[in-house]
Amino acid sequence: MGSFAGHIDEAIFFIGISLWWMFNIYRDHITAGCDSSKHKPRLSYPTRIKWNLPVEIVCKTLFPIGGFLAELFDGSPHFYDWQGNFTKLVYMQHMTIYGMFILHGLIDLMDFYRLPLIKGMNYMSVVLCFIWYGIAFYFHSQTHGLDKEPLEIIIHLLPIFLMFGCALAIFVEYVKGEGAIWPQLIRTFLMLNLGTWFTNAAFVLYVHDRFPGGETNPDWDRTDYRNVHFMVAAFGMHLNFNMVFMVVAYAAMYVFYWCKDKKPFSLLTKQHQYNKVTSVVLKENGHESVKLLDGDEEDTFA
């Protein structure tokens, strides 16, 4: 992980997963008439082509396996020297993170194929993944060598809030169940920010004109506190830009499905507004009446 390649592969993974979640959440919400109360959250989404394949789950398992093996065999597979002293401790920390995500991927795959599991174990496993991710990242940023520069420290400290936020959002999503669209959107937003921030970290901390890019980037002074404060501002920019992106993406998908269904825009808007109103059907003397609970008058029909 301590190179350009090590950071950029994580970035691609997080961005890819977050975009996949975003597409599926938006599609389910729009095709359900934009009624959040009917939204059925899912931790992972299979492909909806000819075969119902767990592509997301397979990717969530293979990516960390690749990272685990890269950390294991980088230099030497041994974690102690000839005197019995520990070596490659940072690699060891990274491997525990990858190991947690590998276990989550396997548990999610078992849940997909309905193998014997305690209900919700796939949710709880990924919650533990992000909790440990945040804890390990904190100590990684504080203890990665006695001469670790302030710029590298702040770049690794800022995403910790995103990691703990993901854990909390996923836990709330599981507890709330049906209708939990906002926890889903929050974890998607946080995951997207993790991806874009690791992209930023890769280009700032390491050279990117050679593979794997383990040398430090000479264009950024890691001891200059002006660069440190700029990184804090840059983190806020990532939050702003990604929020704008998610809003624009939803609007684009809304218009796409409007054109696909060939509905007048006014009808789609009325359907959206109607689904926000809870209706109660009462049967009286062979008639049905729909009572709008937002204060509108009661409509009765035969």
pLDDT digits (tens, 9 = 90+) for 177-233: 888 899 999 999 999 999 999 999 999 998 887 777 778 888 999 889 999 999 999
* Cα-based distances in Å from 279 to 28, 35, 39, 143, 299: 22, 13, 17, 58, 11
CA-based end-to-end distance of the chain: 68
Strands (E), the chain: 279-284, 287-292, 299-301
What is the token pair recorded at 190? Answer: 């946080």
pLDDT in tens, 56-87: 999 999 999 998 888 888 767 777 777 878 87
Q: In the chain, where are the structural domains located?
A: 4-261, 269-301
CA-to-CA distance for 253 and 56, rounded, in angstroms?
21
What number is the average pLDDT over the span 161-190?
94
- Write down the pLDDT at residue 27: 92
Residue 17 burial class via C-beta count within 10 angstroms: exposed 0-12, middle 13-18, buried 19 and up: buried
Percent of the chain with pLDDT over 70: 83
* pLDDT tens-digit series, residues 218-272: 899 988 999 999 999 999 999 999 999 999 999 999 998 887 766 545 445 555 5
pLDDT on residue 46 = 87
- Grade residue 273 by pLDDT with cuts at 50, 70 and 90: low
DSSP 37: G
Spatial neighbors of 18 by CB under 8 A, at least 6 apart, are: 188, 189, 191, 192, 194, 195
Q: What is the pTM of this model?
A: 0.83
Pair of tokens at residue 54 = 């767990």
pLDDT at 288: 47
Separation between Cα atoms, residue 106 and residue 60, nearest integer Å: 9
User: Model confidence at 297, in pLDDT bands (50, 70, 90)?
Assistant: very low
**Residue 282 pLDDT exceeds 50:** no
Which residue type sits at 288? Answer: E
* 289 vs 200, residue with greater confidence: 200
